[in-house]
Structure 1
Amino acid sequence: MRARRAPFRSLPRRPLRTALLTGLAALGLTAPLLAPGAANADVPPAPGWTLQWSDDFDGPARSLPSAANWQVDTGHNYPGGPANWGTGEVQSYTSSPDNLALDGGGNLRITPLRDGAGNWTSGRVETRRADFKAPAGGTLAIEGRIQMPNVTGEQALGYWPAFWALGAPYRGNYWNWPSIGEFDVMENVNGINSVWGVLHCGVNPGGPCDETNGIGASRACPGASCQSAFHTYRFEWDRSASPNVLRWYVDGQLFHSVDENRVGARAWADMTGHAGYFVLLNVAMGGGFPDGVAGRATPVAATEPGRSMLVDYVAVWTRGGGGGDPGPGTPSTLHLRPGGTLGEATGTASATTLASASGTNHDGAPNTPQTFTATGVNGAHNGGATQFDLLVDAGSTVANGQQVRVSYDRTGDGSWDRTETYRYFATDPVPGYEHYTQGQGLKSATGEHGTMRGGTVRVEVWNAIGNGPSTLGTGNQSVVRIPFG
């Protein structure tokens, strides 16, 4: 029933530069990313994850998606459920191949249409399975590779494509939303170059998830716009972290997270304690979200029908849950947080300043670094390597280079058992964040990894060269993945 809500208005703060679109994929946070504009590919491999379910929409053109995987929703509401799907949208969903069909090239195509009388139709499907759930102590990932309807401006008013999940108890009830939970992996309205990720929970109106708005965030799609190319949208429910946390990504870049403490134990238990979730894909027309963003009722006379959402694949993975995860309070994915700590993302973007190298070469030797530390780290070394994606920006300064050193103290006794210094990253003199990853390569490394028991991880970042300061993204911006679990 996607959210009887007023519009969520958090528009992108600042589009991130995407010199390395696959930076976070290399961290093992997501399945390896495909080129955003590529038309079609199989479900990608995901080392370290177990594929639980997928559909890559192979089949003849104008055929319906697999009946073994999907059920088709029709009309203006579920039987006995809220009118207009509970959101005020105007279209009627159908099973016509004009609205809902495979394209013969490995994609599902959902196409809104308007007839001569001004009535709209479109398509909506949901997985037959409704048991997608993070295993105890592990993580669930729901991912889709999607091109939003390629329409913008006045012609896009009213378009509302979505890729989302609803709690299983909603089926057959239709009046227990939002307590059963809703994870909006990708939403978009009115052809804006932005992806929204939203959590719905608790009670309506108000409650811990601020219904009917939900707890959401948005950002521009990396590189090519959301409408002009395929992008990968991913949601993770992590029960290996303490507190448990939900995360949203686009093309491997984290843009939103919500942890258990933010909504409280009762609401969290209500939305996670049931059998699991089912996944939905649809393109609505009109309703509370697009109307609110547009400031008027949509669609309008200028809205152009026939622009399709294309879905390359949908896949569900799990990881962990059977031992071998990092110890309590020790997620393997650590964000650089304000105040010099490493841990779960704060949920908001922030930044800190890296002092100028003042024209002196500090390659390999930290010079007034910004330092971030995690203590009490537990876990067995998984045989992998340190990986990171730091957002850095030298503004308009020429010839700056940022450098990172990651150190491991396995027992927290003050001795560094493993220290890794990576080659510096030469930022360009154009304002805007760039991605500094482990792909720059190791400059030097000492010591060996081993089991962490109450250990410490330290990350130091500084300007190795140049004559000006730089900016380092923190909060939910920069991430280090330690090889444990």
Structure 2
Amino acid sequence: MATQTPSRRRLAAVAVALAVLAALLVHVAVSAAAAVPPTPSGWSLVWSDDFNGSAGAPPSSANWIVDTGHGYPGGPGNWGTGEIQNYTAASSNLGLDGSGNLRITPQRSSSGEWTSARVETTRADFKPADGRVLRIEGRIQMPNVTGQSALGYWPAFWALGQPYRGNYWNWPGIGEFDIMENVNGINSVWGVLHCGVNPGGPCNETTGLGASRACPGSTCQEAFHTYRFEWDRSVSPNQLRWYVDGQQFHSVSQSQLDAGTWANMTGHAGYFLLLNVAMGGAFPDALAGSATPTAATVPGRPMVVDYVAVWQSGSTGPTPTVTPTPPGGVDARSTIQAESYQAQSGTIVETTTDTGGGQNVGAIANGDWLRFDGVNFGSEAARQFKARVASGAAGGVSGLVQVRLDSPTATPIGDFALANTGGWQSWRTVPANISGVTGTHTVYLTFSSGQPADFVNVNWFTFSTT
């Protein structure tokens, strides 16, 4: 190895010092950028995640659900879009980077299988109050890949209507807001509304009502950009607006849609947010003119998410720490449809043949649960619970339908046992006494059985004083 002269040693030392300083400056810049921006004047923060945590850690399970596989259980294959990847929770596909960012990274195995990741918020109630504006925002760098190497890449930041959870066949009527979509490494952001019926309908499905533009300044792939969606209920007719780096590029007015379509899209509990990078599918294939990804597509280029935040205009007070009660609450003495839950575990929604038609919740087994927010019992104590249930369970299979308040692990306030009723659509109304309840609560229906098999379907339930 050659010996350095003193002048070269000094130059080398200066170079090292400059490199260290540059690294420190880069670190400081990334860390500073990782924080959720201050709440704008006249707004309040509803929810946020700035993805702080150790490198390789998954995103917060309190904030995010990790989707896996090629579709929701019982839902359309390939997530309904034709995308080919297998979503996983592996750290190679999904994880924090230790600098305040979430990375979703498509990978290709030696056998040619593509994997990637998709997450959705645990909350599914993002919706502006009457007279307010909801602002959903994320600072994101799209996968830094272009040209033939990018064919099939499909990063997205979007929102789906809450009734989609557990149903999976009511799209697009429940609404979809695509805040940021991109395909094939093109320097463009698409903002799209999906609604109504498929195909055709008022939102021209499956295309949707959309617009696109190039990212301002640096390309979408080279740098972070801020993508924002606003749902404005402060004006009449209401408006939906899409922005990139504060520049509006798309809008849809309530007046463009018929009243029924608008009500189906906006009249439910709200929306949940999603982040994912798909590979292949209808959108990238259409723009490429052929199937994607191809042999030229390179793996390992992540979508990097700095933060996601939701603000609402005009309201004040601290950031909510729990899911807020729906406006007006749900009357405990009304007929509460089982499929109207805010969250669930282990169940499906299916068409019922019970009187009145509609849907029921099925495939319920030991450990499954349904959550109903903001159930208002009033000031006079409810002391009885009734549920419309059916069972086609095999002989010897039975279980308990339990009512719990405010936690799925709280002591049940009442329950009843159920075995085979003559079939999964052979319905009966079963009562149970409960401890007296007043006020407003989150109600959990939980299900307990000594056998692993499904043992009950639920159509609806209600509470009464006697």
Give the TM-score normalised by structure 1. Answer: 0.58
1:282-361 to structure 2, matched below 5 A, reads 282-320=276-314
Q: 8 Å contact 2:161–2:270 — kept in the other structure?
A: yes
Residues of 2 paired with 1:65 and 1:114: CA distance? Answer: 22
Aligned residue for 1:118?
112
Residues of 2 paired with 1:185 and 1:278: CA distance? Answer: 12
Q: Please, which of 241, 249, 255 is the counterpart of residue 255 of structure 1?
A: 249
Aligned residue for 1:383?
none
1:58-457 to structure 2, matched below 5 A, reads 58-320=52-314
Local SS of the residue matching 1:66: coil
39 and 94 in structure 1: CA distance in 2 versus 1, 3 angstrom threshold: farther
Local SS of the residue matching 1:280: strand
260 and 37 in structure 1: CA distance in 2 versus 1, 3 angstrom threshold: farther
70 and 41 in structure 1: CA distance in 2 versus 1, 3 angstrom threshold: same
Code of the aligned partner of 1:305: P
Task: Mark the runs of 5 or more structure 2 residues left unpaired by the alignment.
Answer: 1-28, 317-466
- 1:185 Cα deviation after fit: 0.2
Deviation per CA, 1:293-318: give whole Å up to 9, x if none: 00000000000000000000000010
Residues of 1 paired with 2:222 and 2:81: CA distance? Answer: 27
Structure with greater proportional helix content: 2
Task: Mark the runs of 5 or more structure 1 residues left unpaired by the alignment.
Answer: 1-35, 323-485
Local SS of the residue matching 1:141: strand
Q: 8 Å contact 1:112–1:305 — kept in the other structure?
A: yes
Q: 8 Å contact 2:158–2:275 — kept in the other structure?
A: yes
Residues of 1 paired with 2:32 and 2:116: CA distance? Answer: 22
Code of the aligned partner of 1:131: D
Aligned residue for 1:44?
37
- 1:242 Cα deviation after fit: 1.0
Residues of 2 paired with 1:125 and 1:159: CA distance? Answer: 17
Q: 8 Å contact 2:44–2:315 — kept in the other structure?
A: no
- Figure out how many residues of one structure are paired with residues of the other and give that number: 287
Code of the aligned partner of 1:43: V
Residues of 1 paired with 2:34 and 2:93: CA distance? Answer: 23
Local SS of the residue matching 1:269: helix
Residues of 1 paired with 2:86 and 2:112: CA distance? Answer: 12
Code of the aligned partner of 2:113: N
Deviation per CA, 1:368-409: give whole Å up to 9, x if none: xxxxxxxxxxxxxxxxxxxxxxxxxxxxxxxxxxxxxxxxxx
Identity within the alignment, % = 74
Aligned residue for 2:341?
none
Aligned residue for 1:384?
none
Local SS of the residue matching 1:303: coil
- 1:320 Cα deviation after fit: 2.8
Code of the aligned partner of 2:217: G
Code of the aligned partner of 2:144: N
Local SS of the residue matching 2:222: coil
Aligned residue for 1:54?
48
Residues of 1 paired with 2:100 and 2:31: CA distance? Answer: 12
Residues of 2 paired with 1:294 and 1:38: CA distance? Answer: 37
Residues of 2 paired with 1:124 and 1:286: CA distance? Answer: 14
Q: Give the superposed CA RMSD.
A: 1.4
294 and 235 in structure 1: CA distance in 2 versus 1, 3 angstrom threshold: same
Local SS of the residue matching 2:98: coil
Residues of 2 paired with 1:37 and 1:247: CA distance? Answer: 29
Q: 8 Å contact 1:137–1:321 — kept in the other structure?
A: no
Code of the aligned partner of 1:262: Q
Residues of 1 paired with 2:33 and 2:224: CA distance? Answer: 9
Residues of 2 paired with 1:47 and 1:148: CA distance? Answer: 29
Code of the aligned partner of 2:273: V
Q: 8 Å contact 1:159–1:191 — kept in the other structure?
A: yes
Q: 8 Å contact 2:139–2:224 — kept in the other structure?
A: yes
The answer to which structure, 1 or 2, has the higher relative contact order (CA under 8 A, 6+ apart) is: 1
Give the greater-gyration-radius structure (CA). Answer: 2
Deviation per CA, 1:44-71: give whole Å up to 9, x if none: 1122111000000000000000000001
Deviation per CA, 1:87-110: give whole Å up to 9, x if none: 000000000000000000000000
Q: 8 Å contact 2:31–2:100 — kept in the other structure?
A: no
Code of the aligned partner of 2:36: V
Code of the aligned partner of 1:313: Y
- 1:37 Cα deviation after fit: 9.4
Q: 8 Å contact 2:34–2:99 — kept in the other structure?
A: no
Residues of 1 paired with 2:128 and 2:288: CA distance? Answer: 36
Residues of 2 paired with 1:259 and 1:96: CA distance? Answer: 41
Q: 8 Å contact 1:135–1:320 — kept in the other structure?
A: no
Residue range with higher mean Cα deviation, 197-206 or 259-268: 259-268
Q: 8 Å contact 2:160–2:273 — kept in the other structure?
A: yes
- 1:321 Cα deviation after fit: 7.0
Residues of 1 paired with 2:263 and 2:160: CA distance? Answer: 15
Residues of 1 paired with 2:242 and 2:258: CA distance? Answer: 20
